[in-house]
């Protein structure tokens, strides 16, 4: 992490707790080390040179130049990833560019939990969070039709047919069937070997 974590919020309590959690490794609980390099950092205050606000251009470039370019979204246990403006915006851009996308979740039960967690409440980009208000404003400014964006986003993630959750479940089921078939084959081979001995 370059240069720092940003200004620590003074209130409300939830914002301070989120700030504290975001600057720590979620497994070890240790504060992430800061990059000690002296390279100039171009943040939101310098929009022309900013390194953070060009993800869509970078994704367009990579999709055009790197044929095997893919997007993998690792979903945390509390599904907070879907409340982050940058993440859902990147999901939508990858979908628009037809970049192959995959979710990675802990287990099949995570899919059910995710559907229950979001239930009837759909993800709305305008309610998503960003560390910098300017980031969220930039993301929203690039979206022509926010209600349509939200509908497309929710179909992409939660839809009943070919959504990211459906693809994850299908892929996981296929892997489980392969493991089961392998285990059965090993068991049958072991039994046959025992009968010969």
pLDDT tens digits along 70-103: 999 998 888 889 999 999 999 999 999 999 999 8
What does the pLDDT read at residue 188?
66
- Considering just the CA atoms, what is the radius of gyration of the chain in Å? 21
What does the pLDDT read at residue 166?
86
**pLDDT averaged over every residue in the chain:** 84
- Say how far apart CA 129 and CA 21 lie, in whole Å: 15
Report residues of the chain scoring pLDDT below 70: 1, 119-120, 188-197
Burial annotation 150-174 (CB, 10 A radius, 16+ → b, else e): bebbbbbbbeeeebbbbebbeeeee
What does the pLDDT read at residue 50?
79
What does the pLDDT read at residue 85?
93
Residues in the chain: 197
């Amino acid at each position: 992490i370059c240069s720092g974590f940003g200004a620590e919020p003074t209130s409300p309590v939830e914002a301070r707790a989120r700030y504290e959690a975001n600057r720590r490794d979620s497994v070890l609980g240790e504060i992430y080390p800061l990059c000690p390099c002296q390279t100039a950092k171009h943040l939101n205050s310098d929009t022309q040179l900013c390194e953070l606000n060009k993800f869509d251009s970078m994704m367009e470039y990579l999709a055009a130049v790197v044929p095997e370019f893919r997007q993998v979204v690792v979903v945390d246990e509390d599904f907070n990833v879907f409340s982050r403006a940058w993440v859902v915006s990147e999901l939508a851009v990858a979908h628009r560019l037809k970049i192959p996308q995959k979710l990675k979740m802990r287990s099949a039960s995570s899919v059910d939990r995710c559907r229950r967690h979001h239930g009837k409440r759909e993800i709305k980009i305008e309610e998503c969070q960003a560390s910098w208000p300017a980031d969220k404003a930039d993301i929203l400014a690039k979206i022509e039709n926010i209600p349509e964006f939200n509908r497309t986003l929710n179909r992409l993630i939660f839809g009943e047919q070919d959504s990211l959750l459906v693809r994850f479940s299908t892929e996981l089921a296929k892997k489980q069937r392969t493991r089961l078939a392998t285990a059965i084959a090993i068991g049958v081979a072991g039994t046959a070997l025992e009968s010969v001995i």
